[in-house]
Amino acid sequence: MQKRSIVPIVYILFLMLPIYWLVAMSFKTTNEILAGFSLFPQTFTLENYRTIFTDPTWYWGYINSILYVSINTVISVAVALPAAYAFSRYRFLGDKQLFFWLLTNRMAPAAVFALPFFQLYSAVGLFDTHLAVALAHCLFNIPLAVWILEGFMGGVPKELDETAYVDGYSFPRFFVVIFIPAIKAGVGVAAFFCFMFSWVELLLAKTLTAVAAKPIAATMTKTASSAGYELGLLAAAGTLTIIPGAIVIWFVRNYIAKGFAMGRV
């Protein structure tokens, strides 16, 4: 038992090394970084973080990202819930084909859609809004949410539905009061995955925004090219992009472990 735990420890160390390096760099001055190799920051500085928190073009990047990711997560889970219920409880014309078609949208390379998306969202007047990015990310997040939720709903016995109807529940009331609480782990996991894939995606988010809704990741690439190699500042911005993800995963940590088991296993 003791010997076995070496494997996960080594693996986690391997995962943490590049992250450590990013964090260490964020506390160094750009001069120190370029001057040569040092394992720990020699002249510890918070200057990089101060720049980000005082310059609106930087901190608005974070606010923009969090806004469209939140909108996307809410929309994706809200529309996926009834659809997943339909797939898990009923047979209807074209159900299998529809399910597969939904999944195919996860297979479309974002690079394929970049230009048409720009034209589409410009045409409907949503270009450079948070809603545009949130809606565009639905392309891959809704199919995933339907897939995850359908798996969790399959684990809930049908008797639950039938008992509720016998007790005189209407469908909407049953769905909200009984069914959703019964699969709340699944809702948590689905929301987590939607958050994750929307947070990490850049190509579409960058294509659909210019100034008003520009994501933090795009602010980083623009700075990299305009201000030369500001490595310390980039490292600090990168470090800050890890934090929202870390917070979200801490909330669902128990759902991740137990939650997956309630799904398709």
Partner 1 sequence: MKTENQKAWLFVLPVLALVAFNALIPMMTVVNYSVQETFGDNVFFWQGLDWFQQILRSERFHDALGRQFLFTFLILVIEVPLGIAIALSMPRKGFWVPVCLVLMALPMLIPWNVVGAMWNIFTLPDIGLLGYALNHVLGINYDMTQDPVAAWVTIVTMDVWHWTSLVVLLSYAGLVSIPDAYYQAAKIDGASNWAVFRFIQLPKMKTVLTIAILLRFMDSFNIYTEPFVLTGGGPGNSTTLLSIDLVKIALGQFDLGPAAAMSLIYFAITLLVSWLFYTLMTKDDLN
Long-range contacts of 153-160 (CB under 8 A, 24+ apart): 153/84, 153/85, 153/88, 153/89, 153/183, 153/186, 154/88, 154/264, 155/262, 155/263, 156/182, 156/183, 158/89
> Cα(261)–Cα(128) distance, rounded to whole angstroms?
40
136-155 footprint of partner 1 as x/- string (CB under 8 A)? x-xx--xx--xx--------
Among 68, 87, 127, 152, binds partner 1 (CB under 8 A): 87
- Please tell me whether residue 166 binds partner 1 under the rule CB under 8 A: no
Site for partner 1 in 59-78 (CB under 8 A): 75
- Please tell me whether residue 250 binds partner 1 under the rule CB under 8 A: yes
Within 10 Å of residue 88's Cβ, how many Cβ atoms? 18
Residues 6+ apart with CB under 8 A from 193: 141, 144, 145, 148
Among 37, 97, 211, 228, binds partner 1 (CB under 8 A): 37
Interface with partner 1 (CB under 8 A), residue total 98
- Please tell me whether residue 133 binds partner 1 under the rule CB under 8 A: no
**In terms of CB distance, is 213 or 217 closer to partner 1?**
217
Among 31, 56, 92, 170, binds partner 1 (CB under 8 A): 92
Q: What is the largest CA-CA distance in the chain?
A: 75
- Please tell me whether residue 201 binds partner 1 under the rule CB under 8 A: yes
> Cα(128)–Cα(68) distance, rounded to whole angstroms?
11
Binding part of the chain for partner 1, among 46-54, 130-138, 178-186 by CB under 8 A, reads 130-138
- Please tell me whether residue 98 binds partner 1 under the rule CB under 8 A: yes
Among 126, 185, 217, 233, binds partner 1 (CB under 8 A): 217
- Please tell me whether residue 228 binds partner 1 under the rule CB under 8 A: no
